[in-house]
Structure 1
Amino acid sequence: MIKIERLTSTTSPAFQEAARVVHDAFEPGYIAQAMSPRGEHPDFHTTRYTNIVRHGVMDLEAYTATTEEGTVQAIMIVAPPGTPDPTPNQNTAEFSAFVASLPPVIREGYEAMHKSEHGLQMRAFPDNSDIYWIGFLATSPKAQGRGLAKALLAQVRQRAASEGKIVALLTQTKENVTFYEKLGFVVKDTITGPVRDTTIQYWALTWTPPAN
């Protein structure tokens, strides 16, 4: 059985579990390794993913999916319609200082990724004030294939459908594109951009509620 709850505390055990899920899901990926290969900087990925979850809890909406084991196995971060950009805690002073302290090659790779993501987002969704924006969706590698991501997406799609809104997101892997397409998302735009020595492709996808 999958239990979905909104994460509202940055000091709870669930917050730490969610940050770990994001780390375990994305740190081995080619985008993370392009920015900072494993072992190059001991705190880069952990600090970055913890900040993502903190931002989701403090400024957006963060939802966790828990299985019968009783621990968080997936997390989705959503910006509902009307969310300001940027949000107050998107880059705290502490995290900004951390980024500034990074070796230039890591910082430049990190900034290059965000520049490409932001460029595609603005091109595909120039007015994103009236959409449900999925900022992050991660499932623990050990829990993949159990329907956790689908359950989280079903929740936001049901909510968007009741309001006649679209759901939008970005992804950086073809496998994810295939996953989202099976759920009714369609590719709206795509770009490529360099991150250090790796060329990353980014896709923008949308889901439109069916006509009544």
Structure 2
Amino acid sequence: MSKPTVHRVQELTESEVVHLTDIHVRAYEGGTGTGGDWSLAPYIARAIIRATLLEGEIYVVKNDSNQIVSFGLWFRPGTEVFSTPEQRVLGFDDFFKKLKPEMQEWYSNTYPEYLKKYLDGVFTKEETSKRWWCSNLVTSPEYQGRGYATAIVNAVLEKVAKQNEFIGLATAPPLNVRKYLSMGFKERTAFSLPSPAGDQVVHVFSKGSA
């Protein structure tokens, strides 16, 4: 099997945004970010994709038909998803209005407070200034197991390592934990994150050295 080719995309057509949204929804089926209302999954997926297109970087692998089948959403040091009004207006604000009050509270306070507490606890200020963050790494279910996500990770790491930077991410599902460990990620910490949709253990990883 040939080595997957990774591309950075800086523009997406509306049909491509819809396509990536569909991949995201299917790959993350059952996630807790919608508060148990899975009908909201396309809204948050689309919001993340559009926000990353504006202020982050998107790397993809395409199939033989030139369709995107795997993609990673990345933010350079000093930036993060939904951190600016310009990002949030691209879909997150509408998604937020559709959430139940307890999930609005979770997104406004619980989630950012826990993430800041535990990320600040494991990454020094110097590391944070050199850390690229992967907000999402997604492969279409029918293309999983072919090394596409690994190829994206390696391509981004190769790029940022030239600037003496490294990559980080967080995940909860045990299967994802095993996958990232197999990719050579180092687990930095793990913590229990409470949520109205069910508590989960979040694992924080990094790869490369600052």
**If the TM-score is normalised by the length of the shorter chain, which range does it land in?**
0.7 to 0.9
Aligned CA distance change for structure 1 residues 90 and 124 (closer, same or farther; 3 Å): farther
Aligned CA distance change for structure 1 residues 88 and 5 (closer, same or farther; 3 Å): farther
Matched to 2:141, the amino acid is P
Determine helix, strand or coil for the equivalent of 2:137.
Answer: strand
Give yes or no for contact 1:77–1:136 (8 Å, CA) kept in 2: yes
% identical equivalent positions:
21
Unaligned runs of 5+ in 1: none
- 2:146 matches 1:150: no
Q: Deviation at 1:99?
A: 0.9
Give the structure 1 partner of residue 174 of structure 2. Answer: 174
Aligned CA distance change for structure 1 residues 179 and 56 (closer, same or farther; 3 Å): same
2:79 to 80, 83, 88: 83
- 2:138 matches 1:138: yes
Aligned CA distance change for structure 1 residues 157 and 105 (closer, same or farther; 3 Å): same
Give yes or no for contact 1:134–1:167 (8 Å, CA) kept in 2: yes
Give the structure 2 partner of residue 201 of structure 1. Answer: 201
Give yes or no for contact 1:116–1:192 (8 Å, CA) kept in 2: no
Matched to 2:147, the amino acid is G
Q: Deviation at 1:49?
A: 0.5
Give the structure 2 partner of residue 122 of structure 1. Answer: 120
Aligned CA distance change for structure 1 residues 120 and 90 (closer, same or farther; 3 Å): farther
Determine helix, strand or coil for the equivalent of 1:198.
Answer: coil
Aligned CA distance change for structure 1 residues 118 and 45 (closer, same or farther; 3 Å): farther
Give yes or no for contact 2:184–2:207 (8 Å, CA) kept in 1: yes
Q: Deviation at 1:30?
A: 4.2
Q: Deviation at 1:101?
A: 4.1
Q: Give the distance between the partners of 2:53 and 2:117, measured in 1 at CA.
A: 25
Matched to 2:30, the amino acid is G
CA deviation string 1:9-35 (max 9, x = no partner) = 353432222222111111x234347x2
Give the structure 2 partner of residue 50 of structure 1. Answer: 46
Q: What does 1:174-193 align with in structure 2 at a 5 Å threshold?
A: 174-193=174-193
- 2:8 matches 1:29: no
Q: Give the distance between the partners of 1:158 and 1:94, measured in 2 at CA.
A: 31
Count of residue correspondences:
204
Determine helix, strand or coil for the equivalent of 2:168.
Answer: strand
Q: Deviation at 1:65?
A: 1.3
- 2:73 matches 1:72: no
1:99 to 89, 96, 115: 96
* Length-normalised TM-score, structure 1: 0.83
Give the structure 2 partner of residue 60 of structure 1. Answer: 56
Aligned CA distance change for structure 1 residues 83 and 114 (closer, same or farther; 3 Å): closer
